[in-house]
Amino acid sequence: MHPLYTEHCGLSEAEIRRNNSDLAELFSLYLNLMPNAIDNEMVSELAQSCHISRAEAYAQYLAAMAGLDAGGRDRSFFRYWLAPAIHELDPTAYTSDPYFKSIKILPDTRGKWALKTECLRPLEAFVCNDFVITPDRRMIPQIGFFNEEYPFPAVLENGREWMTLQPNEMVTTYPAIRAAHGRVATFGLGLGYFAYHAAEKENVESVTVVDVSPQVIDLFQTHILPQFPHKEKIKLVCEDAFSFADKRLDGNFDFVFADIWHDAGDGKELYLKMKAYEKKHPLIDFTFWLEDTIKCYLDETLW
């Protein structure tokens, strides 16, 4: 954990909320408009000349691009918000994942859906985990970068990434994988990352994957499922998640993982709708992708 997560910033509640919003806006603009604006030569030169970490050098460049005075009027914002959000990561922590190592992706399309390999460039910024909420209520996005290229499989809808094996989507699925047991249902297929790992567990009897798109299911059945070590545990159902939950949850499953939203920002309503099934089925253990971050979006005291 970054040491500044536990240190109190000394600002008022209103100032903390304002800085939370400002940081989220800064990263939204950077990630969407120019995630490759900072390169390796810039970061290495600044880190060496100033005897600072590469992550801090990256944060310094980002602050300068945003017009911040990191050593003056914006010092608290830089120290307690921006700098702790930036992390240089080791790609082998993700490429050593069993799914990543064993599943080979062949490019193919079905209607508006495409299966392909994409790539993060060296120093390209990306979201790498859920928000961190500090004891003093700072909301810190987690932004990572690699020092080398990072190729990753992806499923795209009309050219828009729907599910990938970027670090954020892997790390934020780990809690559901660890908790999965018994007869598992998962809403949302994507690349089948959760289904792969759940099926590998000895205490998982079966994994029923529910997805509304026959094209996504076809791509998965054709290229990915045959590579699963325990494909016999996997059952695919082409149906709307809520329709399935209305009719087929009771008495048939021990564990549910819901992952039917693109990201935390557009997942709030779907999350709340799916969360209602948790109360209807108290004997089933439910988990929800990106739940911690979605809760941040729903918590108006943070913004």
Listed in sequence order, the DSSP H helices in the chain are 13-33, 40-50, 54-65, 75-77, 83-85, 92-95, 98-102, 167-171, 174-179, 193-200, 214-219, 241-248, 268-280, 291-298
Q: Which two tokens stand for residue 83?
A: 């700098």
Domains along the sequence of the chain with CATH: 3-86 (no CATH), 92-134+142-169 (no CATH), 172-302 (3.40.50.150)
Looking at residues 227-250, what average pLDDT do you find?
A: 96
pLDDT score for 2: 80
| Distance in Å from the first CA to the final CA of the chain | 23
Looking at residues 83-93, what average pLDDT do you find?
A: 97
Q: Which two tokens stand for residue 116?
A: 């392909």
Residue of 116, 229, 233, 96 whose CA lies nearest to 167: 96
pLDDT digits (tens, 9 = 90+) for 169-213: 999 999 999 999 999 999 999 999 999 999 999 999 999 999 999
d(Cα 3, Cα 151) in Å, to the nearest integer?
Answer: 31
Q: Is the pLDDT of residue 220 over 90?
A: yes
Q: How many CB atoms lie within 10 A of CB 75?
A: 12
pTM of the complete model: 0.94
Q: Are 284 and 182 in contact (CB under 8 A)?
A: no
Q: Are 126 and 167 in contact (CB under 8 A)?
A: yes
Q: Which two tokens stand for residue 112?
A: 């508006």
